[in-house]
Amino acid sequence: MRLVTFETGGTQRIGVVTDEGIVDLSHTSLPPDMIGLIAAWAQHEAEVRRYAAATKPHFAISAVRLKAPVPRPPKILAIGLNYADHIAETGREKPARQVWFAKMSNAVNGPYNAIEIPRASDAVDYEAELVFVVGKKCRHVPREKAHEVVFGYCAGNDVTARDWQYASPQWILGKSFDTHAPFGPWIVTADEIADPHTLGIRSLVNGEVRQNSNTRELVFNIYDQIAHLSQAMTLEPGDVIFTGTPGGVGTAMKPPTYLKAGDVVRVEIDGIGAIETRAQAEGDTPKF
């Protein structure tokens, strides 16, 4: 099942994507937002499936604006240096422990919205990533049970201001510029993905393939990540986790090649779909 958050007529709604369009769930007594639906999924899943199967779509996808599936996640966490080919191109050693950072919620962006080239950076890079969404409140999850807390999967782009990232041992600022966490275009529920560790993943910039790998190359896979993170913190419904990027990022090209206004970045993941964002220069008007 593919679940979306979308906007039409100035109203934000959630729905189910079918082959014919979007079935709007706002016509039901279901929770009105994605986090509420995820948190109550065990209670409402059967109802959602029945309603989606029996209802003619209310909207064509082209007639609405798709938002990030979880517009305001409780947490956005991301792991670094998690594909062998990406580690090699950075010249670093394979990490013995998982390397985590946060992206702030202001970075959340829709799957087809523009990403900003900020005034403060001239080294904005792309990172194609498999994203998963947490489905249950959990702590100290054994690795062998970690699959039980994954609600579903998205395609994501961990957009990064490299000059800000490299200026500090803490990556949070370089990873958290406005618009720099597009993901979607929907959540594919976990039951639709037999094995999240066998998915082709690609990024294209202006139609040129830059990254082309498979999630089987993850150093620490999704279940390792959940087991590790949940030792430190309670994971909650709607938490969004970026799982790492393969080799082929712009900063590793010779010479480094960063995004400029007008560039179009497409991220594709087999079985999930694609997001596509155009880079645009940040405006000059102060925002206060």
Q: Residue 149 sits in a domain of what CATH number?
A: 3.90.850.10
Question: Does one domain contain both 16 and 88?
Answer: no
pLDDT at residue number 185:
98
Given 66, 96, 118, which residue is the final one in a domain? 66
Question: Does one domain contain both 160 and 58?
Answer: no
Distance between CA atoms of 98 and 251, rounded to whole angstroms?
Answer: 22
Given 47, 66, 85, which residue is the final one in a domain? 66
Decide if 235 contacts 134 (C-beta within 8 A).
yes
pLDDT at residue number 264:
98
Q: Nearest 5 degrees, angle CA 74-CA 234-CA 229?
A: 95
Q: Which domain holds residue 167?
A: 76-281
Given 11, 41, 66, which residue is the final one in a domain? 66
Distance between CA atoms of 71 and 106, rounded to whole angstroms?
Answer: 10
- List helix spans (H) across the chain: 34-39, 41-54, 84-90, 162-166, 222-232
Number of domains in the chain: 2
pLDDT at residue number 27:
86
pLDDT at residue number 88:
87
pLDDT at residue number 90:
85
pLDDT at residue number 285:
65
pLDDT at residue number 85:
86
Question: Does one domain contain both 154 and 250?
Answer: yes
Query: Is 288 part of any domain?
Result: no
Please list, in sequence order, all residues whose beta carbon lies within 8 angstroms of the beta carbon of residue 82, skipping any fewer than 6 positions away: 98, 99, 218, 219, 220, 243, 244, 245
Question: Does one domain contain both 170 and 130?
Answer: yes
Residues of the chain with pLDDT under 50: none
Question: Does one domain contain both 14 and 54?
Answer: yes
pLDDT at residue number 182:
98
pLDDT at residue number 256:
97
Tokens of 201: 């993943």
Query: Is 71 part of any domain?
Result: no
Query: Is 287 part of any domain?
Result: no
pLDDT at residue number 93:
85
Question: Does one domain contain both 180 and 37?
Answer: no
Distance between CA atoms of 132 and 154, rounded to whole angstroms?
Answer: 6
pLDDT at residue number 52:
97
Question: Does one domain contain both 49 and 146?
Answer: no
Question: Does one domain contain both 91 and 222?
Answer: yes
Question: Does one domain contain both 100 and 35?
Answer: no
Question: Does one domain contain both 81 and 62?
Answer: no
Question: Does one domain contain both 169 and 128?
Answer: yes
Question: Does one domain contain both 125 and 241?
Answer: yes
Phi, psi of 271 (to 5 degrees): 80, -5
CA 22, distance to chain mean position in Å, is: 21
DSSP strand pairing (273-281 vs 160-161):
unpaired
Query: Alpha carbon of 19 to those of 61, 112, 125, 199: distances in Å?
Result: 10, 19, 33, 22
pTM metric for this prediction? 0.96
Query: Is 134 part of any domain?
Result: yes
Query: Is 286 part of any domain?
Result: no
